[in-house]
Amino acid sequence: MTFSLRPFGSFCSIGIGHVLLWLAASLSTTSIAYSQTDEATAAPSSENQWSVLSYNIRLNTASDGKNAWPNRAETVAAVIKEHDVAGLQEVLQSQLEDLQKLLPDYDFVGAGRDDGKTKGEYVPVFFRKDRFEKKDSGHFWLSKTQDVPGSKDWDAAITRMATWVVLKDKKTGKECLIINTHFDHIGKKARQESARIITDKAKTLFRNLPAILTGDFNCPPTDLPYAVITQESEEMRWVDTLAGYMPTAGQPAGSWNGFKAIEGNRIDFIFVARGVQTVTSQILDPKTPAGLFGSDHQPIQAIVRIE
C-alpha cells in the first residue's frame, strides 16, 4: 500500500455559534490518499478507541461504466477492513452480499428502505464480530410515519431511512449507540425535518449511552440541517468530528467527487455526542488498482475514544 500525506481542512463558515463549537471540537489531523495495492492495514485503536468510517459506496449501476461496482468492490471492502465500525450508504442487496463475502470478520445491521427487508438501498452498519456484541438494533424512516417502510414526506424525492445499533465492546464492556443515515438529495424541507427526527430519535434511543452518527447528509456545514444537528437540542447536541478545519490552496476539503474530481464542500459526516471524544479525523482518498476513485464520495474516518 502506498501513502501520501497532506494537511487537511474542511469547508465551513456559518456564524459565531458554529465557530465556537468547531473550536471546541477541533483536533489537528492529516488526510491520507492511498492506492490499494495489497491488503489493507487496520487503523490503530487502543482498548477504549474505535476506528469509525462513514462511506457512501455508490449503488451498483452498469451506467457508471468503468466506475461500476464490480471494479470498486474490493477497494471498498479494503477500506472497511481498516475500521472497527462502518456506516455505509447506497448499498443494494447485491452489494451487501458481495461485502458479506469480502468481509467474513464483520457482521452488519441493515434493511432495504423500500420494504424494510431487501428492496431498495440499505444504510447498513458493519462492525467487527470479534470486538463487538450487538445489544439492540432497529430502523426508522425519515418521514411523518417513521415506522412505515417506504414512507416519505415533505419535498423528499425518494424514501430515506436510518439504521441504528447498540454495540458492546467486548474488550472494555462499554456500550455505544450508532446511527447511520442518508438524507434526501432534493428536498430542503425533508433534510431539515430529517435532522430533527435524527436528534429526537437519538434522545429516545440514547439511554445515557455514548453516541455516534454517520451518514451522507447531502448538504454542507453551511445549511440548516447541520445547525439543527449541532445546535438545536441542548439535550442531544452532536459535534462534527471534522469541525473547524480550513483548507489551503490545492488541498481537498470536500467529500464528493462524482468520479471526476473532489469538490470543495463536505456533505458526509461523522458526529459524536455525550461520552465520545474525537482523537483524530480525516477524509480518505482510496483508489482502485486502476487509479479510479473508490466511490463518487470520499470516505470519512474518525478515531474516537469512548468515555
pLDDT in tens, 121-143: 999 999 999 999 999 999 999 99
* Average pLDDT estimate for 172-194: 97
- Predicted pLDDT of residue 32: 33
pLDDT in tens, 150-169: 999 999 999 999 999 999 99
In this predicted structure, what is the pLDDT of residue 1? 36
Grid coordinates belonging to 250: 490545492
Q: What is the pLDDT of residue 246?
A: 62
d(CA 48, CA 169): 9
Higher pLDDT, 235 or 285: 285
Q: For the chain, first and last CA: distance in Å?
A: 33
Q: What are phi and psi of 293, to 5 degrees?
A: -60, 145
How many Å apart are CA 262 and CA 252, to the nearest integer?
A: 7
Q: What is the DSSP letter of 39?
A: P
3-class secondary structure, 213 = strand
**b/e 147-179 (16+ beta carbons within 10 angstroms → b):** eebbbbbbebebbbbbbbbbbbbeeeebbbbbb
With cut-offs at 50, 70 and 90, classify the pLDDT of residue 206.
Answer: confident
- Average pLDDT, integer, range 173-177: 95
Query: What is the pLDDT confidence band of residue 235, given thresholds at 50, 70 and 90?
Result: confident
**pLDDT tens string 19-59:** 333 333 333 333 333 333 333 344 445 678 999 999 999 99
Confidence of residue 10 (pLDDT cuts 50, 70, 90): very low
pLDDT, averaged across the chain: 85
The structural domains of the chain, with segments of one domain joined by +, span: 2-306
CATH superfamily of 2-306: Endonuclease/exonuclease/phosphatase (3.60.10.10)
Residues 6+ away with beta carbon under 8 Å from 12: 18, 22, 220, 221, 222, 243, 244, 245, 246, 266
Count Cβ atoms below 10 Å from residue 76 Cβ, excluding itself: 27
Q: Indicate if the pLDDT at residue 16 is higher than 70.
A: no
Segment 80-101 mean pLDDT: 98
Per-residue pLDDT band for 4 (boundaries 50, 70, 90) equals: very low
